[in-house]
Amino acid sequence: MTSFVAVHADDLSDLDALLNDPTLTDTWTTTTGDTATTTWDETTDDEETVSKIDLQLTGEVTTGSVTLTFQKVGDYTNYKIYYAPIGDNNLKEDDVKATGDNVVVTVKGLDSGVEYQFIAKAFDDEGNPIEATTSDPVTATTATEQHAAPSDNVLYNPVVKVENNNIVITWKAGADVDKVQISMSEDGKTFKPVATVNGSQNTYTIKAETTGKKYIKLVPIAKDGTLGVCKTAIANVQPKKEAQKKMGHPKTGPETYLILLLALIAASAYVFRKRQA
């Protein structure tokens, strides 16, 4: 039977250096003069049973979050997700507890429109990192915030005027205006509804029943029922002028004064002739 004799390091410092070499090599010499070399891997027995975490994106990306997934490795249940914007060395981390074989984690609090890099790593129950499980980095860009276009549920250049004791209202409706609600008040406080008309109508006439100030309120309404900014205007309705009667209400124009002047001259001539007689 062939026997082997181990060739050992000369002292402890050499042994320590040898044990800390990434590749451990020990040499054995047989009694027949043959030399056998054995290579040892520095990986511990615990790490030999696990593999690198296969970190993946789920496709769920918002303006402030990214969702990741991976399969649990070995019997490890404690993980960390490290992340930072590309080019930023200030890593942040989220602790993850695996409750099943498939792990899903959503990293929140991210900035919108920024490209981030993510790495996952397993830890034992004492909190020691299992380096062999470190995942390859994955990148994802958070969504950019979309700002809604401003609503055009607006009435432009509303005008209120009085014509023959009728209150005529005109306006130009914005693209989002569906209806216009019209109401009126005598005191500017209590408004009573008058009508609701199509916004594209652009005009409406109110027959005034009484005189004085009339407060008119216009409110645009969008198709979804949203109320726009109301517009208020004042119409001053004057009393109607009564038609002049033909009898008892002589004209007061230039012709009237001429007639009176001629009558006065005639009367003066008559008086003068009477005195001469």
Per-residue pLDDT of the chain (277 residues; tens, 9 = 90+): 333 333 333 433 342 343 344 444 444 444 455 554 444 444 444 445 679 999 999 989 999 999 999 999 999 999 999 999 999 989 999 999 999 999 999 999 999 999 999 999 999 999 999 999 999 999 999 998 876 667 888 988 889 999 888 999 999 999 999 999 999 999 888 999 999 999 999 999 998 888 888 999 999 999 999 999 888 888 888 877 654 444 455 556 677 777 877 778 877 777 677 777 6
Q: What pLDDT is recorded for position 176?
A: 92
Give domain status of residue 270, yes or no: no
Q: What is the dihedral of CA 26, 29, 35, 41, to 10 degrees?
A: -20
Together in a domain, 26 and 57: no
Q: Which domain holds residue 206?
A: 155-237
Give domain status of residue 247, yes or no: no
Looking at 106, 141, 176, which one is the last position of a domain? 141
Give the up-direction half-sphere exposure of residue 20: CA atoms within 13 A in the CB hemisphere: 6
The pair of structure tokens assigned to 75 is: 């019997």
Q: What's the whole-model pTM score? A: 0.42
> Residue 188: phi, psi to the nearest 5?
80, 5
Rounded Cα distance, 236 and 165, in Å: 9
Give domain status of residue 215, yes or no: yes
Q: What pLDDT is recorded for position 277?
A: 63
Q: What pLDDT is recorded for position 210?
A: 85
Element (H, E) at 182: strand 179-185
Q: What pLDDT is recorded for position 204?
A: 94
Strand partners, 107: 66
- CA dihedral (96, 97, 98, 102) positive or negative: negative
Q: Give the contacts of 234 (CB within 8 A, at least 6 positions apart).
A: 160, 213, 214, 215, 216
Together in a domain, 31 and 74: no
Together in a domain, 36 and 54: no
Q: What pLDDT is recorded for position 49?
A: 66
Together in a domain, 91 and 164: no
What CATH number is associated with residue 212? 2.60.40.10
Rounded Cα distance, 170 and 231, in Å: 12
Q: What pLDDT is recorded for position 10?
A: 41
105: exposed, middle or buried (Cβ count in 10 Å: 0-12, 13-18, 19+): buried
Which letter, b or e, does each residue of 80-93 get, where b requires 16 or more Cβ atoms within 10 Å of its Cβ? bbbbebeeeeeeee
Give domain status of residue 147, yes or no: no
Number of folded domains in the chain?
Answer: 3
Looking at 79, 113, 141, which one is the last position of a domain? 141
Give domain status of residue 202, yes or no: yes
